[in-house]
Structure 1
Amino acid sequence: MVMNSLTVAALFLCFLAPADTDAWCYHDPSCSEATWPLLGHNYCNGTQQSPIDIVSAHADDDSDLMPFIFVNYSSTSALKTIENSGMTVKVSLHSGITVSGGDLSETYDSLQFHLHWGNGSAVPGSEHTVDGKRYPMELHIVNSESSCNRNTTLAVEDSTGLAALAFFIEEMPDGVSQEPASWRNLTSYLTSITNSGESVSITPGISLDDLLVGVDRRKYYRYLGSLTTPPCNEAVVWTVFKDTIKVSKDLIDLFSTTVRVSNSSSPFMVNVYRNIQAAQEVKTQPAEP
């Protein structure tokens, strides 16, 4: 009985403990996606997991999905630092940047954004797919309920504690010769964060609006899901925008040929995305008459 009680207690603690970022990965079979639940990330075996394939014909109309209100997304000093986390490239944001509306329960603080990709423009690596199509890259802006005071540990205890804004990134169409200068500026920092753990400050000059150019943020899909990385908490209100960000092929290729999973002798960071999970109920705005 003592051994059984200790075992149950240990499992309970493992279930609640924050994920050890060294205990999971994308690139090594010993710690890649199939092993996440076995490594103690129990939420990854949940029933409301992300990402999903969005079947556009099955998305239910919801008139409550009104436009968002973005505060300080136009600020050219919003971006604070850019970091190679060993799993992705993450950009931290200064405080005072928020999003509300869009049928969110309250105002959310925008904390950071990060990216997911495959292996250059030839191997797409978005997390979500639409009607089975996977895009080259995907950008996630992570937001937490303002009542949580930017405390994500507190936010994941609420089923709607986090709101993720997902944007697909794809190659510019033929005939378009110039990409947004903001993206060329942002990716110029990649050579300064080639190794895991490296981080540099971002010089003012790039706004979130600049990076989201071309996207009609009134058109989106909505569902309730999870973090797409361990511990996979089911605490995320997902918004997946229909329009794509368009950049050059060369820029897409930069991510998989510049940043590494560890140091200069480690592999390049490629295929940093989770596979599709079980379908969830998806909503969208009613078609305009």
Structure 2
Amino acid sequence: MEWFKVVAFVVCVLPTAHCASDSIAWCYHLPSCNDTTWPRISPQYCSGSRQSPINIVSASATPNDKLTEFTFFKYDNTSAMTSIENTGDTVKVTLKSGVKISGGDLSEQYDSLQFHLHWGNGSSVPGAEHTVDGKRYPMELHIVNSKSSYNGNTSLAVKDSTGLAALGFFIEVMPGNSTGQPQSWRNLTSYLANITQKGQKVSIAAGFSLDDLLVGVDRTKYYRYLGSLTTPACNEAVVWTVFKEPIKVSKDLIDLFSTTLHFNDSMSPLMTNVYRSLQPAQKVWTQSIKASASTTCFSLGLLLLSLTLGWSWS
């Protein structure tokens, strides 16, 4: 989860030792700052016991009838995405004020602040952060949400064990030989050519929504666990929701991320393999089978009732 390229807090390994500056420099691609070094450069959390991402073992997920459906506010708004930026380690899309989520056993309403992506090296070298039963998808999209009571102040949110809620969506290659599909992803990736270098940022024109980008995903089916930011400072402040069904995007659009963007300027390496290694397992929950069965039985009951009434009227 790309949260901040530079994390604003002071790091002191020992009380009398020299402190780093008010930021932590980290990366994915250099031995001096890749994820093997994060527990050293950001020891407070990156070496903690509640770290993300993880491998989700579907058969071990514990049923929880509190994991209800989410309510998504303004996810259908075609002007909710304001800008897209190359941060030097991902693509980040900033969202307008008023985009929110609730439900899903969250303690309160959360503001949707931004989303970003993780990928490997083209569609053939997967780079999603989470895995399910050992399977890694080509890409993963993270929507970052902060408790509405913090009014967008992420400095406060990261100090709260449930201050942030992350929605993780896998992305897989669309079956067949389609290109440029779906249209919403063609729209999004059309901006990549304008942000090839670190720090470049452009406005997004109205015309497609978050719902459009999440097309085809049943958002009632998901996994839940308590984890962390997946980049330094790795704060253990995240309620993770990882949706079971992937977004399907054509191969050519997935490949654009690893063939268009650079870590720094145009002479620097292409931005590839931007994901953190798997961390130790955490307890994972999923929807209650009983609750799902009850919904199915209720639906079947209504169908049978309507058929019975239909026969009686005939």
TM (normalized to structure 1)? 0.93
Q: How many residues align?
A: 280
Unmatched segments (≥5 aa) in structure 2: 1-11, 294-314
1:38 to 33, 37, 40: 40
1:63 to 59, 62, 65: 65
Partners of 1:119 and 1:178 lie apart in 2 by 19
Q: Is the 8 A contact 2:165 2:240 kept in 1?
A: yes
Partners of 2:104 and 2:288 lie apart in 1 by 14
Task: Decide whether aligned partners of structure 1 residues 246 and 42 sit closer, same or farther in structure 2, where only a CA change above 3 A counts.
Answer: same
- The superposition leaves residues 125-144 of structure 1 with CA deviations (integer Å, 9 ceiling, x where unpaired) of 00000000000000000000
Establish whether residue 166 from structure 1 lines up as the match of residue 168 from structure 2.
yes
- The superposition leaves residues 232-259 of structure 1 with CA deviations (integer Å, 9 ceiling, x where unpaired) of 0000000000011000110110000000
Partners of 1:283 and 1:96 lie apart in 2 by 29
Give the AA of the match of 1:165: L
1:10-89 equivalences in 2 (<5 Å): 19-20=23-24, 23-89=25-91
Q: Which residue of 2 aligns with 1:9?
A: 15
Unmatched segments (≥5 aa) in structure 1: 1-5
> How far did 1:174 drift?
2.5
Partners of 2:232 and 2:100 lie apart in 1 by 25
Partners of 1:284 and 1:61 lie apart in 2 by 5
Task: Decide whether aligned partners of structure 1 residues 211 and 12 sit closer, same or farther in structure 2, where only a CA change above 3 A counts.
Answer: farther
Partners of 2:138 and 2:271 lie apart in 1 by 14
- The superposition leaves residues 24-57 of structure 1 with CA deviations (integer Å, 9 ceiling, x where unpaired) of 1000011000111222343100000000000000
Give the AA of the match of 1:273: Y
Percent of aligned positions with the same letter in both sequences?
Answer: 66
> How far did 1:18 drift?
6.2
- The superposition leaves residues 72-115 of structure 1 with CA deviations (integer Å, 9 ceiling, x where unpaired) of 00000000100000010000000000000000000000000000
Q: Is the 8 A contact 1:109 1:144 kept in 2?
A: yes
Q: Is the 8 A contact 2:72 2:101 kept in 1?
A: yes
SS in 2 for 1:182: helix
Q: Is the 8 A contact 2:179 2:251 kept in 1?
A: no
Give the AA of the match of 2:104: G
Establish whether residue 224 from structure 1 lines up as the match of residue 230 from structure 2.
no
Partners of 2:17 and 2:196 lie apart in 1 by 37
Partners of 1:239 and 1:166 lie apart in 2 by 6
RMSD of Structure 2 on Structure 1 (CA):
1.7
Larger Rg: 2
Q: Is the 8 A contact 2:180 2:253 kept in 1?
A: no
Partners of 1:67 and 1:49 lie apart in 2 by 25
Partners of 2:18 and 2:224 lie apart in 1 by 32
Task: Decide whether aligned partners of structure 1 residues 12 and 283 sit closer, same or farther in structure 2, where only a CA change above 3 A counts.
Answer: farther
Q: Which residue of 1 aligns with 2:148?
A: 146
Task: Decide whether aligned partners of structure 1 residues 11 and 50 sit closer, same or farther in structure 2, where only a CA change above 3 A counts.
Answer: farther
Q: Is the 8 A contact 1:51 1:276 kept in 2?
A: yes
Partners of 1:198 and 1:250 lie apart in 2 by 23
Give the AA of the match of 2:85: E
Task: Decide whether aligned partners of structure 1 residues 264 and 46 sit closer, same or farther in structure 2, where only a CA change above 3 A counts.
Answer: same
SS in 2 for 1:254: helix
TM (normalized to structure 2)? 0.86
Task: Decide whether aligned partners of structure 1 residues 97 and 122 sit closer, same or farther in structure 2, where only a CA change above 3 A counts.
Answer: same
SS in 2 for 1:100: strand
> Which stretch shows the higher mean deviation, 39-48 or 278-287?
39-48
Q: Which residue of 1 aligns with 2:157?
A: 155
Partners of 1:119 and 1:154 lie apart in 2 by 35
1:1-289 equivalences in 2 (<5 Å): 8-9=14-15, 19-20=23-24, 23-174=25-176, 179-287=181-289, 288-289=292-293
Give the AA of the match of 2:152: R
Q: Is the 8 A contact 2:146 2:164 kept in 1?
A: yes
| Structure 1 segments of 4+ aligned residues over 6 angstroms from their partners | 11-14
